[in-house]
Each structure stands twice: as structure tokens, then as C-alpha cells.
Amino acid sequence: MSYARLIEATGRVNDFLNAGSILSWDARTMMPKAGAETRAKQLATLAVAARNLLCSDEMKRALEGAEAEVAGKLESSAEARIVAQVREAISYHERIPTELLRRKTELGAAAHEVWAEARENADFSIFAPALTTMVDINREMAQAIGFEDHPYDALMYRFEPGTTTAGLSTLFARLRDGMIPLVRAIADAEKPRSDFLFRDYPVDAQMEFALQMAKRIGYDTDRGRLDTTVHPFEVSFTRNDVRITTRVATDYMPMSLFGALHEAGHAIYEQGINPAYTRTPLATDLISLYAVGGVSFGAHESQSRLWENHVGRSRAFWANHMGDIKAAYPGLLDDVTDEEFYRAVNRSEPSFIRVEADELTYDFHIMLRAELEAKMVDGSLEVAELPDAWNTAMKDYLGVDVPNDAQGVLQDVHWSSGQIGTFCNYTIGNIMAAQLFETATSENPDILTALDGANYTPLRGWLTDNVAQHGRRFTRDELLENATGRALDPEPYIAHLTRKFTDIYALS
Ligand code: ZN
């Protein structure tokens, strides 16, 4: 009975969080700007209500009874995992004083304005005082949450449980060793032709083609929809209502297409979660308080990157779909072969803007941010020293000179809202994507044959069986062990990038 009560009560937490997700989807797609102030309050109210219900006496009573009821179950059973996760989530949230959360929320609202002004003026000193306070608040949060080695570990826990600063540092060093020689070699190599990507592509045709390709790889639009936003995103309310957005530039067509494929990858993950997990903690992130079924932010990113990069940016994909894209844009691509198109959408060029970075250079933007965040959090880097540290790392990693603070240290919104510790999930996602794709295709050559024939069902089936269906039942590392036989391993990713870019750029 207690277990049933626990499921009922956590279902209501999921309802609050989903209501918040719907308000947030609306805010980002439909809402007039003037609604922003009230909407922020509504979202905060729902998040607090969800947290308070999670930490309520009612929940704790149900949890205690449920723990006794599932005591005989296997530790890896869905029931035992649910009970353990609720216990951990309550403990996590109770460690963070509400007073600290209130200060963080209030500063977040104010700091956003200050950051926007600083960015407009390309002047970091305007933002520095707010960021200093934000870093202090995050350091207090880390102390409250607790950690073994490094305070940054406590902050990453919310987004990527199990990730440590020491582990990231080893991972990053290996990536740098594998990738810097490629970046340097490509800088001197002849660039593939890409002029045709910048032609005048009609907005309606772009949205139609983006949706056509998202559906083609398996995004189910009977349980979803595609809209246009400034920043593309995916949001799921249940596995039966998973929405995506993309952005459109009339003079740069790949943005809408790969935005849609990326978000469709996230959506396919959520649409594939075991229906029995709906409204339970196995489809609710009770730590980050987000009604999502993916097991970590990095695991989620692995699915979007896999479909976007390993499928959508593959040679086979364009050998198969060049006819489709030519039909979608009559007359615009008549002078382009599938091989030229494939090379153009894989063009690599170091830039100082993260969101515009290509597959090969993206991770350097992430390493730089994660490393600087960790140093600010442990006090070894003062906020005042941040712009210099940023520009130096950009030069070291990508060989580029940052022209000003707006295009350097001030480019991301994350710090203004107080979010520190999220960036690593992008790189972990890239690594996981390559590891999963390598296992799927090497153990099942039929999957590769099917991809060569534009049949995406076998790959999607493997990903559903090995990743999506489990929701949050297994940890990220358990999921990887079960699917690939080993923990997070950067080698398949480095091998993939080396193979692909050596070929495209004819490097020896
Ligand atoms: Zn993503």
C-alpha cells in the first residue's frame, strides 16, 4: 500500500514539473515578451511546490512504508530503484537551505539584466560583481550538497551524477591529445566548398524539410510537433507528447535541418521510454526537478548527437537523401553532388562562438568552460582574471584570437542564471554517442547495412532496447556497461573524428 502511495505522490510531483514544462514551452514558443515577468513567478511557484511535495511528511511516510515493502526485491528492480531515488532526492534537496535557493533565484533574475548590458557593451567589468556573488552562492551550494574531492563535483551532480573534476580532467587530456593535431592539420588544409549552403532558402520549405527528415529518422509526430524558436530545444510532457523546435536562417539552411535532427534525437529518446514508467520517478528527474525520462543530461545529449552527427552528417545519409533535399528546394542545389553536400555540412573551422562550432571543435568550447568553472568554484581563479584565462585557453585550444568580451567570456547565458556545472554534459554526450554507435554497428552489421539503405528502424530499435526504454532505472554508467560492456570511453569518439576528418580533408 505504501509503495502505491509513493507512486501516487511522486506522480503529483511529476504533474507539477510537467505543468512547469508546458509553461516554459509556451514561454519559448508562443508567449508575448511582456508575459515574461509573471511567467517567471509561475514557474518558480511550481518548482517550489514540487520540491515541497517531494520533501513533505506525507512523502516520507509513504517512502518508509515502501522501503519495507520492496526490501525483498532485487536492487536493480524498478521498484527498488524508485524507492532509492526518492530517498536520495529528498536528502539532496534537504541539504540545500531554502534561504540559499531564494538568494540564487533572486540574483539570477537581476544578474540576467546585468549580463545582457555587459554583453551589449562588450564589457566584462559590468558583469563581474554579479558573477562574483553567483560564484560565492554556488560555492555555498557545493558545501551544502557535499562532495569528496572537489566542490565542482557537487555542482555537476545535479546534471551529470557520478562525474568528478578529476575524471573530467583525465578525459579532457585524452581528447586534447587526440583532437588538437586534427584541428591544426585542418587549419592548413583546403576547405571543402560550401557556398551553396548560404543561398536564399525559403523559411516554409526549410521547416517542411526539417520535419520530413525528423520523421524519416523516427520522430513520431502523432506524439509530437515542431515549432520555430530562437534557440532550438526539446521538451517532453509524457512519452506521448514530446515537442521539438528548430531555428531558421534564410541564408544558412543547415541550421534548421541539423537543429531538427538534433532535437528529434532527444525526442526519440523520450518517446521510447517504457510506458509503464510514465509519471513515476523513472521518468522524472527528482534531483534537477525536471520532468524528463533521460538518465542524465549527457545521456540525453548522446542521443541527439548520435542522430545529428553519426546519422545526419554521414556520407550514407546524403547518398540517400540528396534527391529529397533537391526536391525540397527546387533549383537551389542543382549544381551540387551528394559528396559535396556531405563535405560541406562537415566543414570544420575554429571559431570563438560555442553555438556555431562544428563537430570537431565543439568540445574545446566545453573543456574551456568546465575547466574555468572548476577553478572559480575552488577559488584558484578570481572572477576578475576570467577574461584573460578565457582568451588564453581559446588561443591554446583552437588558435583563435577572441576579439572582445561579448564574443568571448560573455557569450553564454548560463552563468547569469547561476547555472554552474552543466557544460560537461555536451562532451560526455559526444563520447557516449560514439561509444554506443560503435557497439551498435560493430555487433550488428545489419544496422549498418540498413543505414546504407536509408532504413533507420534497426538502429532506433537497438537504441530503444539499450538506452531509451530504461528511462532513469539505471545510472548512466550502468546503462553504458550494459550496452557496450564498459564505462565511458573516449576512444571510439576520437577514432570517429579522426576517420571522418582525415578523409574529408585528405590528411595523411
Ligand atoms: Zn541537445
Give the tens place of pLDDT for each residue, 227-237: 999 889 999 99
pLDDT-above-70 percentage for the chain: 100
> What are the angstrom distances between the C-alpha of 281 and each of 49, 89, 125, 278, 408?
16, 10, 43, 8, 39
How far is the C-alpha of 195 from the C-alpha of 384, rounded, in Å? 41
The CA 129 to ligand 1 mean position distance, Å, reads 31
Give all strands (DSSP E) within 134-257, no chain letters: 224-228, 234-238, 241-246
Kindly give the distance from the C-alpha atom of residue 301 to the centroid of ligand 1, in angstroms, as a whole number: 5
| C-alpha 426 to ligand 1 mean position (Å) | 8
Contacts of 92 (CB under 8 A, 6+ apart): 145, 157, 287
- Number of separate domains in the chain: 1
Domain annotation covers residue 30: yes
- For the chain, the average pLDDT equals 96
Ligand 1 centroid, distance to 259 Cα (angstroms) = 9
Give the per-residue pLDDT at 102: 86
pLDDT above 90: percentage of residues in the chain: 93
Residue-wise DSSP of 195-230: GGGGS---HHHHHHHHHHHHHHHT--GGGEEEEE-S
Is residue 487 over pLDDT 80?
yes
pLDDT (mean) for 52-75: 97
Find the 13 Cα to ligand 1 centroid distance in Å: 25
Tell me if 46 is assigned to some domain.
Answer: yes
Q: What is the mean pLDDT of residues 242-247?
A: 97
**C-alpha count within 13 angstroms, C-beta hemisphere, residue 75:** 2
Asked whether residue 147 carries a pLDDT value surpassing 90, the answer given is yes
Task: Give the pLDDT score at 15.
Answer: 98
pLDDT of residue 107: 87
Mean pLDDT of 232-251: 96
Cell 553567483 maps to which residue? 134
Q: Give the active site residue among 234, 263, 359, 438.
A: 263
CA of 262 to the centre of ligand 1 (A): 6
Contact 256, 207 (CB under 8 A): yes
Residue 121 has pLDDT above 80, yes or no: yes
Q: Give the CA angle between residues 431, 321, 219 to the nearest 5°.
A: 60
Ligand 1 centroid – CA 95 distance (Å): 29
Residue 6 CA to ligand 1 center (angstroms) comes to: 32
Give domain status of residue 52, yes or no.
Answer: yes
Taking 90 as the threshold, does the pLDDT of residue 110 lie above it?
no
The predicted pLDDT at position 182 comes to 95
Ligand 1 centroid from CA 268, angstroms: 12
The answer to whether 263 is a known catalytic residue is: yes
For residue 99, tell me if it sits in a domain.
yes
Angle at the Cα of 162 from the Cα atoms of 159 and 164, rounded to 5 degrees: 95
Expressed in angstroms and rounded, the spacing between residue 258 Cα and the centre of ligand 1 is: 11
pLDDT band at 96 (very low <50, low <70, confident <90, very high): very high
Q: Is the pLDDT of residue 1 over 90?
A: no
Lowest mean pLDDT among 106-110, 148-152, 155-159: 106-110
The mean-pLDDT minimum among 98-107, 162-171, 407-416, 418-427 falls in: 98-107
370 exposed, middle or buried (CB, 10 Å; 0-12, 13-18, 19+)?
A: buried
Read off the pLDDT of each residue in 179-185 and give the average, rounded to a whole number: 95
Q: How many angstroms separate the alpha carbon of residue 303 from the centre of ligand 1?
A: 8
Average pLDDT over residues 41-49: 91
Q: For residue 170, what pLDDT is reported? A: 97
Task: Identify whether 175 is part of a domain.
Answer: no
Cβ partners under 8 Å of residue 317, min gap 6: 311, 342, 451, 454
pLDDT band at 8 (very low <50, low <70, confident <90, very high): very high
pLDDT surpasses 90 at 112: no
- C-alpha of residue 276 to centroid of ligand 1, in Å: 25
Q: How confident is the model at residue 307 (pLDDT cuts 50, 70, 90)?
A: very high
Q: Model confidence over 409-425: pLDDT tens digits?
A: 999 989 988 899 999 99
pLDDT of 302 > 90? The answer is: yes
Q: Which stretch of 124-133, 350-359, 464-473, 476-485 has the lowest confidence by average pLDDT?
A: 350-359
Residue 47 lies in a domain: yes
pLDDT band at 106 (very low <50, low <70, confident <90, very high): confident
* CA–CA gap between residue 252 and residue 236 (Å, rounded): 28
Closest C-alpha to 466, from 356, 314, 334, 302: 302
323 domain-assigned: no
Provide mean pLDDT across the span 384-394.
97
- In sequence order, the β-bridge partners of residue 242 are 224, 236
Looking at the domain assignment, is residue 150 inside a domain? Answer: no
Domain that holds residue 42: 2-121
- pLDDT given for residue 508 in this prediction: 76
pLDDT value of residue 482: 98
Indicate if the pLDDT at residue 142 is higher than 90: yes
pLDDT of residue 476: 96
Q: What is the pLDDT of residue 48?
A: 92
Say whether 300 sits in a helix, a strand or coil. Answer: helix
Which of 7, 9, 5 shows the shortest CA–CA distance to 50?
9
User: What's the confidence (pLDDT) of residue 387?
Assistant: 97
Q: How many CB atoms lie within 10 A of CB 110?
A: 12
Rounded Cα gap, residues 348 and 223, in angstroms:
35
